Amino acid sequence: MMLAAVLLLLALVLPGLPLGQWRAFALDTAQFAFLISGLALAWDLLARTGQLSLAHGAFFGLGAYAAALSAPALGTVPALLVGGAVAALFSLLLGLATLRLHGMYFAIATLAFSEVMRTLVLKAQFTGGSIGLPVQPAFGGAYPLGGYYLAVAVLVICTVTSLLLSRSRLHYAMAATRQGEAVARVLGVPVVRVKLVTFMISAFLAGLAGGVYAMKTLFLSPYDAFGLGRAVEALVIPIFGGLYTTTGPLLGGLIIVSLETWLRLRIGEGYLVVYGVVLVLTILFLPKGLMSLFARRKGARHA
């Protein structure tokens, strides 16, 4: 909790720090890290019900396209909300069809959904198809740091949502669902409804992050917005940082995105191989992620 507060405070004051010639690069990397951390936090919410989703890259892309298409008519903030709402609507439809599936069957169904969405956007005329879609900057470009602070706002919204859910009755229903659906049903937990509500909240946050991402890049292509890499990022970061926590995805996002930026400059798309290695090493040696190191230290201090 304290670490999360420090990271958010650092995000707010970063533009005021004396960064010299690295200022533009640092702010751009930080903005991307905030958005991907927000996406990872959104993914982690659904993981708390025991479901492994590969659809969050698609929700991110749907939010990006919906916000980009509606921004000229509605303005920046309403367009971002539209992006989140469109992602939540698609998650409702997908959830009604798939949330009774478990494990790899649910993961495969969500992966298929992502591919279908990417193909539809690729073929549609109003999305620009394979040529891509130019995007209006946040607030029409009137505020140079507008996009940066929107990314901070998305991260704060995702963090606050995660914290509020972790203190709610829904949290206990999510944990019971994850630990054993049959027992949860006997205890009176409406398992499918819990997963569906969580899926929609999670997709809304992913769509919100996607909308700000569109206004950051100023251009969307189906290959980037709906790429498998985005779904992999959403999954790897919470596993690396610490599943079912708020601070874990924040810390994991900061480290992984910084590593990705550095690797992209040297090996291009090969950074996905490094993601795979990081995932395997984390599962082998830190099954509860980086947050387990803090827990061990805290435990040793109290021993």
pLDDT digits (tens, 9 = 90+) for 265-283: 777 777 777 767 877 887 7
Contacts of 111 (CB under 8 A, 6+ apart): 54, 55, 231
Which residue carries 């972790």 as its tokens? 166
CA distances from 293 to 84, 227, 286 (A): 34, 32, 8
Contacting residues for 202 by C-beta, under 8 A, at least 6 apart: 42, 43, 45, 46, 53, 56, 59, 91
Q: What pLDDT does residue 39 have?
A: 95
Angle, helix 76-98 to helix 146-166, in steps of 10 degrees: 40
**What mean pLDDT do residues 73-95 have?**
97
What DSSP string runs through 147-161? HHHHHHHHHHHHHHH
Is pLDDT above 80 for 190?
yes
Indicate whether 97 pLDDT > 80: yes
What is the pLDDT averaged over residues 199-204?
Answer: 97
Q: In which band, very low, low, confident or very high, does the pLDDT at 298 lie, cut at 50, 70 and 90?
A: low
Residue 302 reports pLDDT greater than 60: no
Identify residue 269 by its one-letter amino acid code: E
Decide which of 288 and 52 is more confident.
52
- Encode pLDDT of 154-171 as tens digits: 999 999 999 999 999 999
Q: Region 299-303: what's the mean pLDDT?
A: 55
- Extended strands (E) in the chain: 133-134, 219-220
